[in-house]
Amino acid sequence: MGVPDAPHRSAVPPRAHSACAVLPLPHRVPAPHFPVPAPRGPGRKWCHGGGGGGGGAAGPEQGEGEAASEAEAEAVSELSHVPPPVMLLPDDFRASSKVKVNNHLFNRENLPGHFTFKEYCPQVFRNLRERFGIDDHDYQVSLTRTPPHWVGSDRRLLLSSDRTLVAKELSGEDVADVHGLLSHYHQYVVQCHGSTLLPRFLGMYRVSVDSEETYLLVMRNTFSHRLPVHRKYDLKGSLVSREASDKEKGKELPTLKDVDFLNRNEKVYVGQEDQRDFMEKLKRDVEFLVQLKIMDYSLLLGIHEVGREEPEEEELEEEEGGGDEGGPPGGYGTSPEGIGAFFNSHRPLGPGEFDPYVDVYALRGSEAAPRREVYFMGLIDVLTQYDARKKAAHAAKTVKHGAGAEISTVNPEQYGKRFLDFITNIFA
Protein backbone atom coordinates (compact mmCIF):
# COMPACT_ATOMS: atom_id res chain seq x y z
CA MET A 1 0.00 0.00 0.00
CA GLY A 2 3.04 2.25 0.28
CA VAL A 3 3.58 5.26 -1.93
CA PRO A 4 6.92 5.17 -3.78
CA ASP A 5 9.56 7.59 -2.68
CA ALA A 6 10.52 10.42 -5.00
CA PRO A 7 13.12 13.12 -4.44
CA HIS A 8 11.70 16.60 -4.07
CA ARG A 9 13.00 19.10 -6.58
CA SER A 10 15.94 20.87 -4.99
CA ALA A 11 15.21 24.31 -6.44
CA VAL A 12 11.98 24.73 -4.53
CA PRO A 13 11.86 22.84 -1.23
CA PRO A 14 8.37 22.20 0.11
CA ARG A 15 6.79 24.61 2.49
CA ALA A 16 4.94 23.22 5.47
CA HIS A 17 2.66 26.17 5.80
CA SER A 18 0.55 24.27 8.10
CA ALA A 19 -1.13 22.95 10.80
CA CYS A 20 -0.89 23.15 14.04
CA ALA A 21 0.41 24.16 17.44
CA VAL A 22 -0.90 21.46 19.70
CA LEU A 23 -2.39 18.22 18.40
CA PRO A 24 -3.16 15.84 21.27
CA LEU A 25 -2.43 12.21 20.62
CA PRO A 26 -4.96 9.37 20.99
CA HIS A 27 -6.77 8.67 24.25
CA ARG A 28 -5.77 11.91 25.93
CA VAL A 29 -7.81 14.64 27.51
CA PRO A 30 -7.78 17.96 25.60
CA ALA A 31 -4.37 19.54 25.78
CA PRO A 32 -3.67 22.87 27.48
CA HIS A 33 -2.62 25.66 25.15
CA PHE A 34 1.05 25.96 24.27
CA PRO A 35 2.55 28.83 22.29
CA VAL A 36 4.30 27.90 19.05
CA PRO A 37 8.05 27.86 19.64
CA ALA A 38 10.55 29.75 17.52
CA PRO A 39 11.19 28.00 14.20
CA ARG A 40 14.85 27.19 14.75
CA GLY A 41 16.73 26.55 17.90
CA PRO A 42 18.79 24.03 19.85
CA GLY A 43 17.56 20.50 19.49
CA ARG A 44 15.49 21.15 16.36
CA LYS A 45 16.38 19.63 13.01
CA TRP A 46 14.43 20.29 9.85
CA CYS A 47 14.22 17.79 7.01
CA HIS A 48 12.76 18.17 3.55
CA GLY A 49 12.33 15.23 1.26
CA GLY A 50 10.22 12.99 -0.89
CA GLY A 51 8.54 9.79 0.05
CA GLY A 52 5.69 11.49 1.83
CA GLY A 53 3.53 8.41 1.64
CA GLY A 54 6.08 5.65 2.00
CA GLY A 55 6.67 5.84 5.72
CA GLY A 56 3.13 6.93 6.42
CA ALA A 57 1.51 4.05 4.61
CA ALA A 58 3.73 1.56 6.34
CA GLY A 59 2.93 2.85 9.82
CA PRO A 60 0.80 0.91 12.33
CA GLU A 61 -2.89 1.54 12.68
CA GLN A 62 -3.43 3.88 15.60
CA GLY A 63 -5.23 3.47 18.88
CA GLU A 64 -3.26 0.42 20.06
CA GLY A 65 0.02 1.83 21.27
CA GLU A 66 0.24 3.21 24.78
CA ALA A 67 3.53 5.08 24.47
CA ALA A 68 2.04 7.94 22.45
CA SER A 69 -0.79 8.33 24.93
CA GLU A 70 1.73 9.74 27.41
CA ALA A 71 2.40 12.91 25.45
CA GLU A 72 0.96 15.81 23.53
CA ALA A 73 2.59 16.51 20.18
CA GLU A 74 3.55 20.03 19.22
CA ALA A 75 3.69 20.95 15.51
CA VAL A 76 5.22 23.98 13.87
CA SER A 77 3.25 26.45 11.77
CA GLU A 78 5.95 27.08 9.16
CA LEU A 79 9.16 25.33 8.12
CA SER A 80 10.36 27.82 5.50
CA HIS A 81 9.47 31.03 3.75
CA VAL A 82 9.82 29.81 0.19
CA PRO A 83 7.10 31.26 -2.08
CA PRO A 84 4.68 28.75 -3.61
CA PRO A 85 5.56 27.32 -7.02
CA VAL A 86 3.79 28.57 -10.10
CA MET A 87 2.49 25.07 -10.82
CA LEU A 88 2.46 21.73 -9.05
CA LEU A 89 4.71 18.93 -10.28
CA PRO A 90 4.24 15.17 -9.89
CA ASP A 91 6.81 15.08 -7.09
CA ASP A 92 4.66 17.47 -5.03
CA PHE A 93 2.11 14.68 -4.64
CA ARG A 94 4.73 12.47 -2.96
CA ALA A 95 6.70 15.10 -1.08
CA SER A 96 6.80 15.80 2.62
CA SER A 97 8.31 18.22 5.14
CA LYS A 98 9.49 17.18 8.56
CA VAL A 99 10.65 18.73 11.81
CA LYS A 100 12.49 16.73 14.46
CA VAL A 101 12.70 17.82 18.08
CA ASN A 102 15.33 16.34 20.39
CA ASN A 103 15.96 17.05 24.05
CA HIS A 104 14.04 20.32 24.08
CA LEU A 105 13.23 22.11 27.34
CA PHE A 106 9.90 23.61 26.26
CA ASN A 107 6.93 22.55 28.43
CA ARG A 108 8.58 19.29 29.41
CA GLU A 109 5.78 18.31 31.79
CA ASN A 110 3.40 17.88 28.84
CA LEU A 111 5.52 17.36 25.72
CA PRO A 112 7.73 14.39 24.91
CA GLY A 113 11.46 15.02 24.79
CA HIS A 114 11.79 13.51 21.30
CA PHE A 115 9.23 13.62 18.54
CA THR A 116 8.89 14.15 14.80
CA PHE A 117 6.18 16.09 12.99
CA LYS A 118 5.66 15.42 9.30
CA GLU A 119 3.46 17.23 6.80
CA TYR A 120 2.44 15.33 3.68
CA CYS A 121 2.30 17.01 0.27
CA PRO A 122 2.57 20.52 1.73
CA GLN A 123 2.44 22.35 -1.59
CA VAL A 124 -0.60 20.39 -2.75
CA PHE A 125 -2.63 21.03 0.38
CA ARG A 126 -1.57 24.66 0.42
CA ASN A 127 -2.87 24.94 -3.14
CA LEU A 128 -6.13 23.22 -2.12
CA ARG A 129 -6.60 25.66 0.76
CA GLU A 130 -6.16 28.54 -1.67
CA ARG A 131 -8.68 27.05 -4.10
CA PHE A 132 -11.17 26.61 -1.26
CA GLY A 133 -10.75 30.29 -0.39
CA ILE A 134 -8.95 29.74 2.91
CA ASP A 135 -6.22 32.15 3.89
CA ASP A 136 -3.22 30.35 5.35
CA HIS A 137 -3.07 32.67 8.35
CA ASP A 138 -6.74 32.03 9.12
CA TYR A 139 -6.13 28.29 8.76
CA GLN A 140 -3.26 28.39 11.23
CA VAL A 141 -5.18 30.54 13.70
CA SER A 142 -8.27 28.29 13.59
CA LEU A 143 -6.19 25.19 14.14
CA THR A 144 -3.59 26.49 16.58
CA ARG A 145 -4.68 29.61 18.49
CA THR A 146 -6.24 27.37 21.12
CA PRO A 147 -5.96 23.57 21.13
CA PRO A 148 -8.46 21.40 19.31
CA HIS A 149 -10.24 18.80 21.43
CA TRP A 150 -11.12 15.15 20.97
CA VAL A 151 -14.76 14.40 20.24
CA GLY A 152 -16.79 11.25 19.69
CA SER A 153 -16.92 8.03 21.66
CA ASP A 154 -14.01 6.48 19.76
CA ARG A 155 -11.87 9.64 20.15
CA ARG A 156 -10.70 9.60 16.54
CA LEU A 157 -11.88 13.12 15.69
CA LEU A 158 -10.51 16.51 16.69
CA LEU A 159 -12.57 19.68 16.47
CA SER A 160 -10.88 23.08 16.29
CA SER A 161 -11.82 25.52 19.03
CA ASP A 162 -13.68 27.76 16.55
CA ARG A 163 -15.51 24.69 15.12
CA THR A 164 -14.57 25.42 11.50
CA LEU A 165 -12.06 22.55 11.12
CA VAL A 166 -11.95 18.88 12.02
CA ALA A 167 -9.05 16.44 12.01
CA LYS A 168 -9.71 12.75 11.63
CA GLU A 169 -7.25 10.18 12.90
CA LEU A 170 -6.25 7.85 10.06
CA SER A 171 -4.57 4.47 9.80
CA GLY A 172 -1.44 3.99 7.71
CA GLU A 173 -3.64 2.31 5.09
CA ASP A 174 -5.89 5.39 5.01
CA VAL A 175 -2.84 7.59 4.39
CA ALA A 176 -1.94 5.47 1.37
CA ASP A 177 -5.54 5.76 0.14
CA VAL A 178 -5.39 9.54 0.41
CA HIS A 179 -2.13 9.58 -1.54
CA GLY A 180 -3.74 7.44 -4.22
CA LEU A 181 -6.72 9.78 -4.44
CA LEU A 182 -4.97 13.12 -4.05
CA SER A 183 -3.91 13.91 -7.62
CA HIS A 184 -7.39 13.03 -8.95
CA TYR A 185 -9.00 15.01 -6.12
CA HIS A 186 -6.86 18.07 -6.76
CA GLN A 187 -7.56 17.99 -10.49
CA TYR A 188 -11.28 17.71 -9.79
CA VAL A 189 -11.23 20.65 -7.36
CA VAL A 190 -9.46 22.72 -10.02
CA GLN A 191 -12.03 21.77 -12.66
CA CYS A 192 -15.04 22.56 -10.47
CA HIS A 193 -13.42 25.74 -9.07
CA GLY A 194 -13.76 24.44 -5.51
CA SER A 195 -17.55 24.16 -5.80
CA THR A 196 -18.14 20.66 -4.44
CA LEU A 197 -19.94 18.72 -1.71
CA LEU A 198 -16.92 16.46 -1.23
CA PRO A 199 -14.91 16.77 2.00
CA ARG A 200 -12.61 19.77 1.75
CA PHE A 201 -9.22 18.27 2.55
CA LEU A 202 -6.82 20.92 3.86
CA GLY A 203 -3.80 19.11 5.29
CA MET A 204 -2.43 15.70 6.29
CA TYR A 205 0.12 15.12 9.06
CA ARG A 206 1.99 12.47 11.01
CA VAL A 207 3.23 12.78 14.59
CA SER A 208 5.81 10.23 15.74
CA VAL A 209 6.64 9.72 19.41
CA ASP A 210 9.00 6.83 20.10
CA SER A 211 7.53 3.90 18.15
CA GLU A 212 3.97 5.24 17.93
CA GLU A 213 2.73 7.18 14.92
CA THR A 214 -0.48 9.18 14.68
CA TYR A 215 -1.89 10.33 11.32
CA LEU A 216 -4.34 13.21 10.99
CA LEU A 217 -6.33 14.51 8.02
CA VAL A 218 -7.65 18.09 8.44
CA MET A 219 -10.78 19.26 6.62
CA ARG A 220 -13.67 21.70 6.86
CA ASN A 221 -16.48 20.99 9.29
CA THR A 222 -19.68 20.02 7.49
CA PHE A 223 -21.80 21.69 10.16
CA SER A 224 -21.90 25.31 11.26
CA HIS A 225 -19.37 26.99 13.50
CA ARG A 226 -22.24 28.87 15.24
CA LEU A 227 -25.67 27.37 14.41
CA PRO A 228 -26.19 24.19 16.43
CA VAL A 229 -27.60 21.10 14.73
CA HIS A 230 -30.80 19.68 16.25
CA ARG A 231 -31.36 16.66 13.98
CA LYS A 232 -28.84 14.77 11.89
CA TYR A 233 -28.86 11.93 9.40
CA ASP A 234 -26.26 9.73 7.72
CA LEU A 235 -27.86 8.78 4.37
CA LYS A 236 -26.54 6.12 1.97
CA GLY A 237 -29.64 5.26 -0.06
CA SER A 238 -29.80 1.73 1.34
CA LEU A 239 -32.60 0.32 3.51
CA VAL A 240 -30.89 -2.85 4.79
CA SER A 241 -29.49 -2.36 8.30
CA ARG A 242 -29.92 1.38 7.88
CA GLU A 243 -31.88 2.21 11.02
CA ALA A 244 -30.30 3.70 14.12
CA SER A 245 -30.10 1.38 17.12
CA ASP A 246 -32.22 1.94 20.21
CA LYS A 247 -29.05 2.91 22.05
CA GLU A 248 -28.23 5.51 19.41
CA LYS A 249 -31.77 6.89 19.42
CA GLY A 250 -31.51 7.37 23.17
CA LYS A 251 -28.73 9.93 22.78
CA GLU A 252 -29.39 13.64 23.01
CA LEU A 253 -28.45 14.08 19.36
CA PRO A 254 -28.56 10.67 17.65
CA THR A 255 -27.13 9.98 14.22
CA LEU A 256 -30.21 8.70 12.37
CA LYS A 257 -30.17 6.78 9.09
CA ASP A 258 -32.15 6.16 5.91
CA VAL A 259 -34.99 4.14 7.43
CA ASP A 260 -35.38 6.69 10.23
CA PHE A 261 -35.58 9.49 7.66
CA LEU A 262 -38.44 7.72 5.87
CA ASN A 263 -40.26 6.63 9.03
CA ARG A 264 -40.27 10.17 10.38
CA ASN A 265 -41.53 11.62 7.09
CA GLU A 266 -38.57 13.98 7.15
CA LYS A 267 -38.15 16.40 4.24
CA VAL A 268 -35.69 19.07 3.23
CA TYR A 269 -37.40 22.36 2.35
CA VAL A 270 -35.22 24.57 0.15
CA GLY A 271 -35.93 26.81 -2.80
CA GLN A 272 -36.02 25.35 -6.32
CA GLU A 273 -32.85 27.13 -7.38
CA ASP A 274 -30.94 25.94 -4.31
CA GLN A 275 -32.21 22.40 -4.86
CA ARG A 276 -31.18 22.46 -8.51
CA ASP A 277 -27.70 23.80 -7.73
CA PHE A 278 -27.26 21.25 -4.95
CA MET A 279 -28.26 18.29 -7.12
CA GLU A 280 -26.03 19.44 -9.98
CA LYS A 281 -23.05 19.49 -7.63
CA LEU A 282 -24.01 16.17 -6.08
CA LYS A 283 -24.39 14.42 -9.46
CA ARG A 284 -21.03 15.77 -10.59
CA ASP A 285 -19.36 14.65 -7.34
CA VAL A 286 -20.91 11.18 -7.50
CA GLU A 287 -19.78 10.76 -11.10
CA PHE A 288 -16.24 11.58 -9.96
CA LEU A 289 -16.44 9.00 -7.15
CA VAL A 290 -17.84 6.35 -9.51
CA GLN A 291 -14.95 6.92 -11.92
CA LEU A 292 -12.53 6.22 -9.06
CA LYS A 293 -14.56 3.14 -8.03
CA ILE A 294 -15.32 4.67 -4.63
CA MET A 295 -18.39 3.66 -2.66
CA ASP A 296 -19.86 3.54 0.86
CA TYR A 297 -19.94 7.33 1.05
CA SER A 298 -22.84 9.08 2.76
CA LEU A 299 -24.64 12.38 2.69
CA LEU A 300 -24.33 13.92 6.12
CA LEU A 301 -27.45 16.04 6.80
CA GLY A 302 -27.70 18.38 9.75
CA ILE A 303 -30.83 20.43 10.50
CA HIS A 304 -30.82 23.62 12.55
CA GLU A 305 -34.21 24.72 13.88
CA VAL A 306 -34.26 28.51 13.85
CA GLY A 307 -35.49 30.00 17.10
CA ARG A 308 -35.11 26.85 19.17
CA GLU A 309 -33.87 27.54 22.68
CA GLU A 310 -30.38 26.17 23.13
CA PRO A 311 -28.80 24.32 26.04
CA GLU A 312 -25.36 25.43 27.18
CA GLU A 313 -23.65 22.70 25.17
CA GLU A 314 -24.59 21.21 21.81
CA GLU A 315 -23.31 18.24 19.93
CA LEU A 316 -21.75 18.65 16.54
CA GLU A 317 -20.80 16.50 13.56
CA GLU A 318 -17.84 16.71 11.23
CA GLU A 319 -17.15 16.04 7.59
CA GLU A 320 -15.75 12.57 8.07
CA GLY A 321 -17.58 11.60 11.25
CA GLY A 322 -20.33 9.14 11.91
CA GLY A 323 -20.87 9.37 15.66
CA ASP A 324 -21.81 11.96 18.22
CA GLU A 325 -19.46 14.82 18.83
CA GLY A 326 -19.54 16.86 22.01
CA GLY A 327 -18.82 20.53 21.63
CA PRO A 328 -16.54 22.44 23.96
CA PRO A 329 -18.17 24.32 26.80
CA GLY A 330 -18.99 27.94 26.30
CA GLY A 331 -21.07 27.93 23.14
CA TYR A 332 -20.20 28.07 19.47
CA GLY A 333 -17.15 29.68 17.90
CA THR A 334 -16.88 33.47 18.16
CA SER A 335 -13.12 33.98 17.78
CA PRO A 336 -12.18 37.42 16.40
CA GLU A 337 -9.59 35.69 14.17
CA GLY A 338 -9.46 32.56 12.07
CA ILE A 339 -11.74 31.14 9.40
CA GLY A 340 -14.93 31.92 11.32
CA ALA A 341 -14.02 35.58 11.89
CA PHE A 342 -14.61 36.92 8.37
CA PHE A 343 -18.29 37.71 8.73
CA ASN A 344 -18.13 38.53 12.45
CA SER A 345 -16.02 41.58 11.62
CA HIS A 346 -18.69 43.03 9.31
CA ARG A 347 -21.96 42.74 11.18
CA PRO A 348 -23.53 40.48 13.81
CA LEU A 349 -25.48 37.46 12.62
CA GLY A 350 -29.13 37.07 13.54
CA PRO A 351 -31.12 33.89 14.22
CA GLY A 352 -30.73 31.41 11.38
CA GLU A 353 -28.27 33.62 9.49
CA PHE A 354 -24.98 32.26 8.20
CA ASP A 355 -22.07 33.34 6.05
CA PRO A 356 -21.66 30.98 3.05
CA TYR A 357 -17.92 31.71 3.09
CA VAL A 358 -17.70 30.09 6.53
CA ASP A 359 -20.60 27.63 6.54
CA VAL A 360 -19.81 26.26 3.10
CA TYR A 361 -22.28 23.35 3.25
CA ALA A 362 -25.29 25.41 4.43
CA LEU A 363 -28.62 25.90 2.66
CA ARG A 364 -31.36 28.19 3.88
CA GLY A 365 -34.86 26.74 4.26
CA SER A 366 -37.47 28.04 1.85
CA GLU A 367 -40.16 30.55 2.80
CA ALA A 368 -42.81 27.89 2.10
CA ALA A 369 -41.37 25.49 4.69
CA PRO A 370 -43.63 24.59 7.64
CA ARG A 371 -40.90 25.82 10.03
CA ARG A 372 -37.74 27.89 9.72
CA GLU A 373 -34.73 25.63 9.27
CA VAL A 374 -31.16 25.74 7.98
CA TYR A 375 -29.66 22.63 6.39
CA PHE A 376 -26.04 21.47 6.29
CA MET A 377 -25.32 18.78 3.69
CA GLY A 378 -22.02 17.32 2.54
CA LEU A 379 -20.48 14.04 1.44
CA ILE A 380 -18.43 12.06 3.95
CA ASP A 381 -16.41 8.82 4.04
CA VAL A 382 -15.04 8.94 0.50
CA LEU A 383 -11.96 6.70 0.87
CA THR A 384 -13.55 3.24 0.38
CA GLN A 385 -12.79 1.63 -2.97
CA TYR A 386 -14.60 -1.35 -4.47
CA ASP A 387 -11.91 -3.99 -3.98
CA ALA A 388 -11.93 -7.77 -3.49
CA ARG A 389 -13.12 -7.40 0.10
CA LYS A 390 -16.14 -5.35 -0.95
CA LYS A 391 -16.95 -7.78 -3.74
CA ALA A 392 -16.96 -10.65 -1.24
CA ALA A 393 -19.20 -8.68 1.13
CA HIS A 394 -21.60 -7.97 -1.73
CA ALA A 395 -21.81 -11.65 -2.62
CA ALA A 396 -22.46 -12.65 1.00
CA LYS A 397 -25.21 -10.06 1.48
CA THR A 398 -26.84 -10.99 -1.81
CA VAL A 399 -27.10 -14.60 -0.64
CA LYS A 400 -28.56 -13.47 2.71
CA HIS A 401 -31.00 -10.77 1.54
CA GLY A 402 -31.67 -11.70 -2.10
CA ALA A 403 -30.50 -10.17 -5.36
CA GLY A 404 -33.07 -7.34 -5.26
CA ALA A 405 -32.38 -6.20 -1.70
CA GLU A 406 -31.17 -2.64 -1.11
CA ILE A 407 -27.86 -3.73 0.41
CA SER A 408 -25.01 -1.26 0.82
CA THR A 409 -22.18 -3.25 -0.77
CA VAL A 410 -23.17 -3.05 -4.43
CA ASN A 411 -20.68 -2.03 -7.13
CA PRO A 412 -19.80 1.69 -7.45
CA GLU A 413 -22.10 2.32 -10.44
CA GLN A 414 -25.11 0.76 -8.72
CA TYR A 415 -24.22 2.48 -5.48
CA GLY A 416 -24.02 5.90 -7.13
CA LYS A 417 -27.33 5.53 -8.98
CA ARG A 418 -29.19 4.29 -5.91
CA PHE A 419 -27.64 7.02 -3.79
CA LEU A 420 -28.69 9.78 -6.20
CA ASP A 421 -32.21 8.36 -6.52
CA PHE A 422 -32.64 8.42 -2.75
CA ILE A 423 -31.19 11.89 -2.23
CA THR A 424 -33.33 13.34 -5.03
CA ASN A 425 -36.40 12.32 -3.04
CA ILE A 426 -35.40 13.85 0.29
CA PHE A 427 -36.58 17.26 -0.92
CA ALA A 428 -40.18 18.41 -0.39
Q: Which amino acid is at 135?
A: D
Non-local (6+) Cβ contacts of 183 within 8 A are 90, 93
Kindly report the backbone phi and psi dihedral angles of residue 400, in degrees, each rounded to the nearest multiple of 5, phi listed first: -75, -45
Provide the residue count of the chain.
428
Q: Pairing state of beta strands 165-170 and 212-220?
A: antiparallel
Q: Pairing state of beta strands 157-159 and 165-170?
A: antiparallel
Neighbours of 392 (CB within 10 A): 11
| Short-list 212, 305, 202, CA closest to 26 | 212
CA distances from residue 116 to 8, 111, 156, 209 in whole angstroms, order as listed: 19, 12, 20, 7
92 given a catalytic annotation: no
- Active-site hit among 168, 236, 257, 390: 168
- Active-site hit among 296, 324, 359, 381: 296
**Helix (H) or strand (E) segment spanning residue 136:** helix 136-144
296 given a catalytic annotation: yes
CA distances from residue 236 to 67, 381, 422 in whole angstroms, order as listed: 38, 11, 8
| Short-list 140, 149, 134, CA closest to 330 | 149
Residues with catalytic function: 168, 296
